[in-house]
Amino acid sequence: MSQTFRTAIVVGASSGIGLALAEQLAASGCRVAAIARRKDRLDELATRFPNLVLPFAHDVTEFAEVPELFQQITAQLGGLDLIIYASGIMPEVGKTEFNTDKDISTINVNVLGAIAWLNQAAIRFQGSQTGTIIGIGSVAGDRGRPGQPVYNTSKAALSTFLEALRNRLSKLGVIVINVKPGPVDTEMTRHLGFKNAISADDAARIILSKTTRSREYYLEPKHHLIFAIIRRLPSWIMQRLGI
Ligand SMILES: NC(=O)c1ccc[n+]([C@@H]2O[C@H](COP(=O)([O-])OP(=O)(O)OC[C@H]3O[C@@H](n4cnc5c(N)ncnc54)[C@H](OP(=O)(O)O)[C@@H]3O)[C@@H](O)[C@H]2O)c1
């Protein structure tokens, strides 16, 4: 870990990357508010890190609950150094399926939940002129692809929102980071059988080692080159390749 945090909120801490982040932060002595819907998972985490992990059951699509819950959590933590928004969903979408219900859920969790939580952090950090905000984006936000149109859209929107926060807050001393993982072996992706996925523990280790400056980066260094090319491919080539 490149920096020691004393207090943190991890939204989406019940599994995968968010769970690994909460575990590693708590193991470093940080007090962590762990947020997700599955309270049993959060309670189990809190049992492993007594007095360090505070579990809060919350559905991020309940946007109106966020301001009061944020105040309650920061009071209980006794401050806030870091917030990580890791909640996300990627519903299965058939090749010919256009399903607005799934699309609304994806935008609600991946984008509007992030905005609701990170706006609260932005207000606090703007006042204190310190603090770190991390959003878990994805390489999937770099292009609109046939397989996951709205998951792609959600990660592109998150990236743009985080860029705007960075452009508002960095000059005040607040660090704003968008990290873009490729495949990570978690409950979200396990059924896809990725051969090249990295572990959630490794993903969390890298994320927590790169917290000292505002930026957007790919979790895996090889993706900087690969996605520099993919971002520049003309649409007609993307269509031909079907990727
Ligand atoms: N795995 C990958 O290959 C990969 C690659 C790039 C980016 N990402 C991103 O990484 C982030 C973490 O995903 P993951 O791979 O670790 O998947 P995961 O294991 O499925 O974790 C998703 C987390 O989001 C939470 N969540 C989902 N809906 C929620 C809701 N309505 N309210 C509150 N929390 C909610 C889940 O908690 P509850 O269900 O308990 O609420 C869980 O803690 C996501 O943003 C994902 O898009 C993943």
The secondary structure of 32-82 as a DSSP string is EEEEES-HHHHHHHHHHSTTTEEEEE--TT-GGGHHHHHHHHHHHHTS-SE
Q: pLDDT tens digit string along 217-227?
A: 999 999 999 99
Domain parsing of the chain, residue ranges:
7-241
Distance 237 CA to ligand 1 centre (A): 31
Residue 85 annotated to the active site: no
Task: Please tell me the predicted confidence (pLDDT) of residue 44.
Answer: 98
Ligand 1 contact, 154 CB (< 6 A): no
Q: For residue 151, which of 197, 203, 99, 89 has the smallest C-alpha distance?
A: 89
Helix (H) or strand (E) holding 139: none
* Banded pLDDT at 243 (limits 50, 70, 90): confident
Q: CB neighbours of 183 closer than 8 A, spacing ≥ 6?
A: 189, 192, 194, 196, 197, 198
Task: Please tell me the predicted confidence (pLDDT) of residue 190.
Answer: 92
Structure letter (DSSP) for residue 99: -
- In degrees, rounded to 5, the angle at the alpha carbon of residue 67 between the alpha carbons of residues 61 and 71 is 130
What is the residue with the minimal CA distance to atom 14 of ligand 1?
A: 16
Q: Span 29-58, mean pLDDT?
A: 98
Which CATH topology does 7-241 take? Answer: Rossmann fold (3.40.50)
**Beta-carbon neighbour count of residue 16 at 10 Å?**
22
From CA 170, how far away is CA 175, in angstroms rounded?
6
* Banded pLDDT at 242 (limits 50, 70, 90): confident
Ligand 1 contact, 36 CB (< 6 A): yes
Q: pLDDT tens digit string along 56-112?
A: 999 999 999 999 999 999 999 999 999 999 999 999 999 999 999 999 999 999 999
* Banded pLDDT at 2 (limits 50, 70, 90): low
What is the residue with the minimal CA distance to atom 45 of ligand 1?
A: 88
Could you tell me the pTM of the whole model? 0.98
